[in-house]
Amino acid sequence: MNHDQAQPLLLDVAYGELTPGEAREVELHAAGCPRCAAELAELLAARRLAARLAPEPVPARGRAELVAAARRAVAPVGRPARARAYALAASVAVVALAVGVTLRWSGQRPAWPGGDAIPEQGDLVPMEDVAPRVAPGPPAPVPGPAPAPSLAPGPAAARPPAAKRLPGPAAAARPRASQQDLARAERGAAPAAAPAPAARPPVPAFAAAPERAAALRAPEAARRAAPAEAEVEAHAAGASPAVAEDVERRAAAGELREERRRLTCDGRTLERVALLDGERVVKLTVRFEDGAVEVGWYDGAGALRAVRPSGALPSRAPAADALSRCAW
């Protein structure tokens, strides 16, 4: 027997409530355990001191009162028959009401706000079954550059008067030089004679003012790039935009791979962004530090096929050897 088993039995050994075999096992453990031996000795000493006290006589009435109180405590408490009947009737009514409400609600379905009953799951139709199917149309064509407005003046009889072209405050805000040019052009126009071949027609005021304002607002880099852009548009005038449209469509579908390289070429720092179909470059974008941008699309033979503006600054096409120059 170990300490945990013997310690709770020490009090029973002191009062002689164990069998002789159990008491012997506890005493054998206490003989080898100082803690249990000390606790058992204290219990036996207290037991001997308590045995010396004379027992107090029990009052005659006290025993009877204790017995009566014990009987009252264990006696069942009776209920009137009428109270039990009322409780039974109330229980039956509550059960009947609960059953009626349950049956009523189970036989109905809540209605939609419009008054119709909620459709069953089998009545529902997936949205994709009733949605109209729209066949994909051809890709939208890339709008070409708007034709430049003709500056050649028409016959004097077909030209509207100046008051109708720029009415109200717009005419007052028109530059002084433009009004003089318009007046000089109206005075010098012949109603029936052919225009003089050597004289250049004046620029109308309604066209010259916006063009002059746009030229003043344009950055210096854009004005420098204007001649190069004109050369590029002339070079690619015969190219079809179908190549560019096909490249952009495949790039949006994730069929092309993009590579970026930052390098110094011909003394200028630039960044090249190329879209590749396998190992073949189909689109090349070159961005320079001064803000200039070059964009070019290439066909299967590697020739420039189309050029169009990109961003705020005018775009130019890369040079013919841009794919091989500067270690691309």
pLDDT of 252 over the 90 cut: yes
pLDDT of 324 over the 70 cut: no
Q: What integer pLDDT is reported at residue 57 of this predicted model?
A: 73
Phi, psi (rounded to 5 degrees) for 219: -70, 160
What CA–CA distance (Å, rounded) separates 212 from 301? Answer: 43
- Among all chains, which residue has been given the structure tokens 């031996």? 37
- Where helices occur in the chain by DSSP H, the ranges are 3-6, 10-14, 20-32, 34-52, 60-74, 81-106, 127-130, 162-165, 169-172, 176-188, 205-217, 220-235, 242-252
What CA–CA distance (Å, rounded) separates 218 from 212? Answer: 10
- Among all chains, which residue has been given the structure tokens 């349950």? 102
231-258: b or e for each residue (b if 16 or more CB lie within 10 Å)? ebbeebeebebebbbebbeebeeeebee
The type of residue at 11 is L
Q: Could you write out the three-class secondary structure of 243-277? A: HHHHHHHHHHCCCCEEEEEEEEECCEEEEEEEEEE
pLDDT in tens, 10-68: 888 888 888 988 989 988 888 888 888 888 889 888 888 888 887 777 677 777 888 88
User: Which own/partner pairs from 1-9 qualify as long-range (CB within 8 Å, at least 24 positions apart)?
Assistant: 1/25, 1/26, 1/28, 1/29, 2/29, 3/29, 3/33, 3/35, 3/36, 6/30, 6/33, 6/36, 7/35, 7/36, 7/39
What CA–CA distance (Å, rounded) separates 251 from 150? Answer: 38
The fraction of the chain above a pLDDT of 70, given in percent, is: 50
pLDDT in tens, 259-314: 898 888 877 888 888 888 888 888 888 888 888 888 888 887 777 765 555 554 45
Highest mean pLDDT among 2-11, 160-169, 229-238, 302-311 belongs to 2-11
What CA–CA distance (Å, rounded) separates 170 from 195? Answer: 29
Q: Give strand pairing partners of 316.
A: 294
pLDDT of 199 over the 70 cut: no
Q: What integer pLDDT is reported at residue 191 of this predicted model?
A: 44
Mean pLDDT, the chain, rounded, equals 68
* Gyration radius (Cα) of the chain, Å: 55
Q: Which residues contact 182 (CB under 8 A, 6 or more apart)?
A: 162, 202, 204, 205
Q: Higher-confidence residue: 35 or 113?
A: 35
